[in-house]
Amino acid sequence: MDRASADAAFEGPLASGTRVPESRSRNAEGQANRLAPFATGPVALVAVVLAGVLTAVSGRYGFHRDELYFLAASRHLAWGYVDQPPLTPFLTGVAAALFGDTPAGLRVVATLASVVTVVVVVLVARELGAGRWGQAIAAWCTAVAGFVLGLGHMVSTATFDLLAWVTICWLLLRLLRTGDGRWWVPIGVAVGVSLLNKFLVALLLVAVLVALLVTEQRRVLRSGWLAVGVVVGVAVAGPTLWWQATHDWPQLRVAGGISSDDGAENRLLFVPMQILQLSPLLAPVWVAGFVRLWRDPAMRWARPIAWAYPVLAVLVLLVGGKPYYALPLLIVIMAAGGETVAAWTRRGRRAFLLGAGLAAAAVTSAVVALPVLPPADVSVVNPINKEQGEQIGWPRLVAAVARGWAEIPAQDRRRAVVFTQNYGQAGAIDHYGPDHGLPAAYSGHMSYADWGPPPDSADGPVLLVRQAGGRGAERFFTGCREVARVDNGVGVDNEEQGSVVALCSGTVEPWSTLWPRLRHFY
């Protein structure tokens, strides 16, 4: 069966029930809507290059603090955690089992997710009428975007969230183009899977709903298939929603902490980060995409995507969310610009200018998003992408903890506890500590608090690991004195540089009594 025949098995016209090939399907305006063939060769080339680059650098620097946390969470699998649903920890555990619990091993799944993201963005561009050249441009623009490179380099919830969002948008565009309400069902599946990874997709759903209501494409909301899609989505995400509900929705508390701690800064940086985190050199492409969706009569059926982005931007600003929350939708809009840029390059030597621009974007994005600089120079890019710095120094932190552990008399170590201020420190000790003879770490941060306090029989010394400015943690312990200090060795000013390892004689109360006060979400 060829592609047109396969698509025809799902895509029928609006009301008649008669199935026709995709090449002769009609959109909501009744206009012929012939899609170009998928640009398999150019897209495959982009995918291979992207996968090769990400794989080549995947082992540099080291784990990110979140990856260490996901490794720990994968050993405590549940339908939910206080700060996230279960999908990313589950995929981290799968990657570690299949490819090894090293940075390069874990990041295989991130690389694959980014490659698939490029393919789906090309499908978006094709849905919006891009030909072979327009699809290739969309693929290269996505692959050289700093945001995509950064998420492809490391395992994070945002890595899989990006893939989920562009998939939802692609399916939505198919719904809008064909008018076939049955597309609500796969949309529901995609939303459900997205909710298993991150609840941030709720902002996208609100933005899309508003966008549909203010355009004539609201007609798709009248389909009975919408209710089916909602039921399917809730069924897929049901276990993690139930977990959150039975645990008093801790993710809302975490989100509130992000807003209260960083909300003002996030709002101030929203616009510049939209430009910098993709690449300033790609701005003309997504501007062209927005203009095309907004003004081109042939794109009238897809206009809700243009409406959804400013609505989403307003939502992110209102909740004080991080600027990158809106970037997946901006990438979809950038895909719409692929065909506009393709038409522009057909004149004169503009193809050369496009190639030069993409090459420059690739280089600058790689410097900002990938571990290509010497570790000592990472501070240069930290203001734009602080995640680079968070991959440096974890073995040296654990070595400092080991020096502190050596201060504890051997006869007291059976009753001693290593307690950390945050999950990154605890995850690093759990991963690297056995090679230094260290026990498992405890922490009151995020889900580490749920994995239990030390037994009350552990009434001996406490080795406290805290950040340089975290003296408040010592109020729960007695007789604390500094025995080691963390130095990452390359002068990178990350969150753990200068952290203190303090040896305390004990706790002010038994662990079981103290534990609720040690729990924190920020």
Instruction: Please state, in angstroms and rounded to a whole number, the distance separating the CA atoms of residues 382 and 377.
Output: 9
Please report, as a single letter, which amino acid is at residue 54.
L
Instruction: Please state, in angstroms and rounded to a whole number, the distance separating the CA atoms of residues 431 and 469.
Output: 25
Exposed/middle/buried for residue 121 (C-beta within 10 Å: 0-12, 13-18, 19+)? buried
* Closest to 206 in 3D by CA, of 371, 348, 326: 326
Where in the chain are the domains? 37-369, 393-518
Residue 238 has which token pair?
């049901």
33: pLDDT confidence band, cut at 50, 70 and 90?
low
Average pLDDT in the chain: 91
In this structure, how many other beta carbons lie within 10 angstroms of the beta carbon of residue 101?
16
Indicate if the alpha-carbon torsion angle 439, 443, 449, 455 is positive or negative: positive
Q: What's the average model confidence in pLDDT over 444-465?
A: 96
Q: What's the average model confidence in pLDDT over 139-161?
A: 97
252: pLDDT confidence band, cut at 50, 70 and 90?
confident
320: pLDDT confidence band, cut at 50, 70 and 90?
confident
Q: What is the pTM of this model?
A: 0.90
- DSSP code string of 366-392: HHHHSS-S-GGGGGGTTTT-TTTGGGS
1: pLDDT confidence band, cut at 50, 70 and 90?
very low
Instruction: Please state, in angstroms and rounded to a whole number, the distance separating the CA atoms of residues 78 and 386.
Output: 29
Is the pLDDT at 10 greater than 70, yes or no?
A: no
DSSP E strands: which ranges in 84-171? none
505: pLDDT confidence band, cut at 50, 70 and 90?
very high
Q: What is the pLDDT of residues 169-227, one digit of tens each?
A: 999 999 999 999 999 999 999 999 999 999 999 999 999 999 999 999 999 999 999 99
Is the pLDDT at 14 greater than 90, yes or no?
A: no
Count CA atoms within 13 Å of residue 169 on its CB side. 37
Q: What is the pLDDT of residues 379-426, one digit of tens each?
A: 889 888 899 999 999 999 999 999 999 999 999 999 999 999 999 999
Q: Give how far Cα 429 sits from Cα of 35, 39, 83, 117, 391, Å.
A: 53, 47, 21, 33, 15
* Eight-state DSSP code of residue 507: E
Count CA atoms within 13 Å of residue 93 on its CB side. 12
Q: How do 462-466 and 500-504 pair as beta strands?
A: antiparallel
* Closest to 83 in 3D by CA, of 56, 60, 65, 61: 65
Element (H, E) at 463: strand 462-466
